[in-house]
Structure 1
Amino acid sequence: MSITILADSACDLSEHYYNEYNIEMIPLTVHLNEKDYRDSIDISPKTIYDAMREGQTPKTSQASVNQFKEIFTSYAKAEKPLLYIAFSSELSGTYQAAKIVEQEIKEDYPEAQLHIIDSKCASLGLGLVVLEAAKMARQNISFDELIAQTDKNAGRMEHIFTVDNLEYLYRGGRVSKTAALVGGLLNIKPLLHVEGGKLIPLEKIRGTKKVLKRMIEVMDKRGNNLENQIIGISHGDDLPRAQELSKLIQDKFSVKGENIIIEMVGSVIGAHSGPGTLALFFCNK
């Protein structure tokens, strides 16, 4: 029996991937102008970025227990295997909500093939893990094998990213007001990565061009077999800079353009990172 992959909207994949690989998606929620929107369904990232440029501060919330209960129950009743690959538990409560429901479902349906992986990934880093799992699910692979390999893939996913304006990280409580102010005055761009599912600062760099160069250097040091893997780039409404980074990767590592996926950072993550965010995802050594 074929295995279905469930992802949440924080994986930042375009709709055509869900359709092509039969991936189920559960949306997180964005709050803007006193209204609630389902991420990637009712609102576009562009709307969020435009609102933030105008000084608004969107809020976000995790997927609910009821959303998971509906999906998990339908698969358990139909005796269909379901693997949910969750947004990092260090960045959202969505994973915990899913685990609560999983326990309830397995009490009612002890034989249910239902498993949840805390990916410790975000944005297109999560998206690449989801995509690879969906491809494997089409092959003759057991549920346990798929779980083990997906867990391994998630553990090897590098996230290297920068933000254009420290003010947005300040609003979200990620940096101090002083750091945001000084960073803006000195054109300082923070380089961050994800470690253990958490956002960890790597270094501070002065100037946009130097940031791209440094991202390539980190990729060179950490990457493994780059020319033979799918690489992800996500951006906060700044496609030209994402394409510039893509070109640098192709030139440096002999990566084919079709092996680089470029997506916009979705509404939920973008509400915290802001317009101008640039993120790079690849498998490490």
Structure 2
Amino acid sequence: MRIGLVVDSACDLPQSFIEAHGIVILPITLHLGDHDEIDTRDPEKTEHFYQSKWDRRGDAGSSAFSTEQIKQLFLEKLVIDFDFVFCLTIASSRSPMFDNAVKASFAILNDYKPFRAKAGINGPFALRVIDCQNLFAAQGLMAVEAIRMIKQGENPIKIRERLEALTQNIHGYMLPQDLFYLRARAKTKGDRSVGWIGAMLGTALDIKPLIRGYRNETGPVAKLRHFDRGAEQLFDYAISRIESGLLAPTLVMSYGGNLEGMRLLPGYERLVAACAKHGVERVESVLSMTGGINVGPGALTLAFADEPHALPF
């Protein structure tokens, strides 16, 4: 059985991993001032995006592909290339992508037969849309685990069960650089979790909120002093969880800009060493343009799968 994987462009994975495993990107539309851009995780566009001066406090935004756009992507390509497709979407609490993909799936399953017949393909087509219940690097972790199981030859039922269980145990973290930008975007989306006074005070004292995504809820869980020091605390926390034993042998990180900026942060080398010692695969990626639009340049994200536990912050 040919099993394919689709992720939306908010899912943080390096281009080399996407290409090596034939992962299909479900685009997200970015609204950059007076023009729109389609985020397909193109490396050159992403690099240019972070080097450019998009309106970081204005009307920049993003929107999910529509049900019809998703349907066309599947019918024109995926129902021919694969027999079963897993579609992993950004948290349904933060985007309509999951709902749009579910609606599209009904039409796809009703309409796919003529497309496969025309291509001379026998047999049924099936797909499963899964809400990752998380963002950015955490979506990437789900994709890495899906690919691992596909490569091992697991059947779709076991893969689905594993992925749906994993959604309840992924801890995704994000440390922003620019609180004013984060507040502006949150206000645009009706999210009041970062207020003006908090942004002013946080900037004056260089306090950064550590934001966690977990089981479809996203919000601040700690206040860390200074970005570099906060990153070191986050890395040390990840090391402690690696040493305790993770539920999946993968750690995913992403950064809103050139990855050398992340690799120079204090604690990074210790984290790399801990992953190597404990056999944890480390996957690093530039934060998607979609992520950059929503949380600002220079943001650090990190994700792993673990049982519920108390935070050290």
Using structure 2 for the length normalisation, give the TM-score.
0.81
Q: CA deviation at 1:191?
A: 1.0
Identity %, equivalent residues: 22
Q: 1:208 aligned to 2:227?
A: yes
Identify which of 181, 197, 200 aligns with 1:178: 197
Amino acid at match of 2:87: Y
After superposition, the Cα gap between the structure-2 partners of 1:47 and 1:57, relative to the gap in structure 1 and judged at 3 Å, is farther
Residues 176, 296 of structure 2: 8 Å contact kept? yes
Aligned to 1:32: 32
Aligned to 2:245: 225
Amino acid at match of 2:169: R
Identify which of 92, 95, 116 aligns with 1:92: 95
Residues 124, 234 of structure 1: 8 Å contact kept? yes
Residues 138, 304 of structure 2: 8 Å contact kept? yes
Deviation digits for residues 137-186 of structure 1 (CA, Å, limit 9, x no counterpart) = 12322111111112223332211221111111111124111111111111
Residues 8, 27 of structure 1: 8 Å contact kept? yes
After superposition, the Cα gap between the structure-2 partners of 1:246 and 1:231, relative to the gap in structure 1 and judged at 3 Å, is farther
CA distance in 1, matches of 2:171, 2:154: 25
Amino acid at match of 1:172: R
Q: Which runs of 5+ in 2 are unaligned?
A: 114-123, 187-192, 308-313
Deviation digits for residues 209-238 of structure 1 (CA, Å, limit 9, x no counterpart) = 431343135335555525982211111126
Q: Secondary structure at the match of 2:173?
A: strand
After superposition, the Cα gap between the structure-2 partners of 1:79 and 1:180, relative to the gap in structure 1 and judged at 3 Å, is closer
Aligned to 2:151: 138
Aligned to 1:274: 296
Residues 49, 271 of structure 1: 8 Å contact kept? no
CA distance in 1, matches of 2:260, 2:82: 46
CA distance in 2, matches of 1:228, 1:91: 24
Q: CA deviation at 1:277?
A: 0.7
Q: 1:242 aligned to 2:262?
A: yes
Q: 1:105 aligned to 2:101?
A: no
After superposition, the Cα gap between the structure-2 partners of 1:268 and 1:79, relative to the gap in structure 1 and judged at 3 Å, is closer
Q: Which runs of 5+ in 1 are unaligned?
A: none
Q: 1:16 aligned to 2:16?
A: yes
Aligned to 1:196: 215
Q: CA deviation at 1:276?
A: 1.9
Q: CA deviation at 1:93?
A: 0.7
CA distance in 2, matches of 1:138, 1:257: 18
Q: Secondary structure at the match of 2:153?
A: coil
After superposition, the Cα gap between the structure-2 partners of 1:54 and 1:157, relative to the gap in structure 1 and judged at 3 Å, is closer
CA distance in 2, matches of 1:71, 1:79: 13
Residues 68, 98 of structure 1: 8 Å contact kept? yes
Q: CA deviation at 1:79?
A: 7.0
Residues 256, 287 of structure 2: 8 Å contact kept? yes
Amino acid at match of 2:158: E
Q: CA deviation at 1:14?
A: 2.5
CA distance in 1, matches of 2:66, 2:20: 26
Aligned to 1:83: 86
Aligned to 1:259: 281
Using structure 1 for the length normalisation, give the TM-score.
0.88
Residues 124, 281 of structure 1: 8 Å contact kept? yes
Residues 81, 113 of structure 1: 8 Å contact kept? yes
Aligned to 2:189: none
Amino acid at match of 1:99: V
CA distance in 2, matches of 1:79, 1:189: 44
Amino acid at match of 2:89: A
Q: Secondary structure at the match of 2:152?
A: coil
Amino acid at match of 2:66: S
Moved more, 22-31 or 135-144: 135-144
Equivalenced residues, count: 285
Counterparts of 1:28-67 in structure 2, within 5 Å, are 28-39=28-39, 40-41=41-42, 43-44=45-46, 46-48=48-50, 50-52=52-54, 55-67=57-69
Q: Secondary structure at the match of 1:276?
A: coil
CA distance in 2, matches of 1:283, 1:91: 20
After superposition, the Cα gap between the structure-2 partners of 1:255 and 1:125, relative to the gap in structure 1 and judged at 3 Å, is farther
Q: CA deviation at 1:255?
A: 4.2
After superposition, the Cα gap between the structure-2 partners of 1:137 and 1:79, relative to the gap in structure 1 and judged at 3 Å, is closer
